[in-house]
Amino acid sequence: MRQHHRSTRLFGSLLLVAAAGLSSVAAAPGGGAEETATAAAPTPLGQIVPAPASAAPGGSPYEISAKTRIRVGESREARAIGGQLADVLRPSTGYPLKVTDDEGRDGIRLRLSTKDTSLGNEGYRLESGRGSLTITARKPAGLFYGVQTLRQQLPAAAEKKTGQKGPWKVAGGTIKDTPRYAHRGAMLDVSRHFFSVDKVKRYIDQMSLYKVNKLHLHLSDDQGWRIAIDSWPRLATYGGSTQVGGGQGGYYTKAQYKDIVKYAASRQLEVIPEIDMPGHTNAALASYAELNCDGVAPPLYTGTEVGFSSLCVKKDVTYDFVDDVIREIAALTPGKYIHIGGDEAHSTSHEDYVAFMNKVQPVVAKYGKTAIGWHQLTGATPAKGAIAQYWGYDATGAAEREQVVNAAKKGTKLVLSPADRAYLDMKYDKDTPLGLAWAGYVSTQRSYDWDPGTYLKGAPAESIQGVEAPLWSETLSTSAHIEYMAFPRLPGIAELGWSPASTHDWDAYKVRLAQQGPRWDALGIGYYKAPDVPWPGK
């Protein structure tokens, strides 16, 4: 996950502001004849991110007008999704866009139907023509993803919060779309630096536009404990009181955590909470002396080294602690998974590590959840149904890769987060003012140009559950920092998780990605203007 030979220097937001200044600025609509003509031409059907499974252009475009209704039928879920779409489009178009359950053949129609089983739980069909635009799905998730496709088919100015000049056209034709993988995740480290509820929600909005469906929250580490636990209150009040560099930390109350979970669910994201153990536990060890083998609490830690902390594996109180923490978090988390970390436990002997994981995994199952761990879990005995999250990289030794592949052959499922491909906190190049480089530099092309299906040679295809893009926060402390490192790379990882392998082509992708630049400008996302992408006006 993170190696100890990293730079500890932090970069301030002033440096980011300077770097973010490289980001393109969208021209105001109606700026000239050429621009108006461009705006009038709808985005070619399917020229979006992630690439759809199939797109058949044809016929007249659909145009949103002052008379447009969003027709949702009697479904409560469809009404909520239709309301979200209306909230996006009303400010920019100036149209009322009434959300109604009245049936009709015109307008934007959001339909839930169980008839087309080929759409699965997350697929959708979008049909655009002269009089109507219809999105059909079997489940609300598919309907939501169809709406995200609709947003990208509209001009970027549709995302703005002020009135803009149309027209608001969607190219004619049919898109039928289903995801390649069930797990399409993004991880946010709120332990090294604490991010408020509003900042987490902002990132949720951004990732959901690209059909990401898992939000992995790294809630505990050496530098901070970020979730209230009633049975061990000092974890949050003391262990969460600081962060990297010594600044004021913070933690989520149970009500705040539930608010994040609910908000994520409204964007079709499942929250996966992580409590890292037995290593990466200094915040817990500092909070409760009895968790230490010598009974002495260490001081709080605000640096960035790793591998020095460990829960006391042989103490019974350790497992009381684990049971309490997992029980309380499981009660707050409706999703299927709890992540138990397990990486860089350098201060835990192999024997103790195996013993610890053998005791902790059944606790996760006891409270109705499935365990996920970093891929070091495969060095122990993964429980039935457990998922190992692989964070090695191209240079990772053959023995370590073989250990993971052998576990997969025995039934352990895998989520792929190779550090030199998917880690969003790696620098783009030597001049990147934020991030780290222990896994090398990760350009936008490098982050996209790999295939999850073939990355771990020998791993059964059915073992690969999907991909996840972690964002570690040693050098990141603001939403602007998050956005600069996540964009433009996060959409590429999202495409690897969603789109068919047959669509994977850097030269085609970079053109579609470049078209997202004006959309990010409209949304106020300060992205890195990667030199390997042909941004508009470049």
377-431 tens-digit pLDDT: 999 999 999 999 999 998 889 999 999 999 999 999 999 999 999 999 999 999 9
Task: State the Cα–Cα distance between residues 343 and 279, nearest whole angstrom.
Answer: 7
Residues 482, 18: contact at Cβ < 8 Å? no
At 163 the three-state DSSP class reads coil
What is the token pair recorded at 102?
């009245």
Q: In what helix (H) or strand (E) does residue 287 lie, and over which residues does it extend? A: helix 282-287
What order do you get walking across the sheet with 69-71 strand by strand?
Answer: 54-57, 173-177, 124-128, 132-137, 107-112, 69-71, 98-100
At residue 28 the predicted structure's pLDDT band, cuts being 50, 70 and 90, is very low
Average pLDDT, the chain: 93
Give which of 361, 352, 324 is closest to 235, Cα–Cα: 324
At residue 465 the predicted structure's pLDDT band, cuts being 50, 70 and 90, is very high
pLDDT value, residue 22 = 35
Residues 185, 467: contact at Cβ < 8 Å? yes
The one catalytic residue in 274, 328, 344, 495 is: 344
pLDDT value, residue 448 = 98
In order of 286, 463, 476, 496, 509, the CA distances from 448 in angstroms are 40, 21, 22, 7, 9
60-71 tens-digit pLDDT: 999 999 999 999
At residue 25 the predicted structure's pLDDT band, cuts being 50, 70 and 90, is very low
Q: At residue 36, does pLDDT exceed 50?
A: no
At residue 31 the predicted structure's pLDDT band, cuts being 50, 70 and 90, is very low
202-256 tens-digit pLDDT: 999 999 999 999 999 999 999 999 999 999 999 999 999 999 999 999 999 999 9
At residue 19 the predicted structure's pLDDT band, cuts being 50, 70 and 90, is very low
% of the chain exceeding 70 in pLDDT: 93
What letter represents residue 224's amino acid?
A: G
Write down the pTM of the prediction.
0.93
pLDDT value, residue 9 = 33
Task: State the Cα–Cα distance between residues 429 and 436, nearest whole angstrom.
Answer: 10
Q: At residue 18, does pLDDT exceed 70?
A: no
Within 13 Å of residue 404, how many CA atoms lie on the same side as its CB? 27
Q: Is 344 a catalytic residue?
A: yes
246 Cβ contact list (under 8 Å, min separation 6): 302
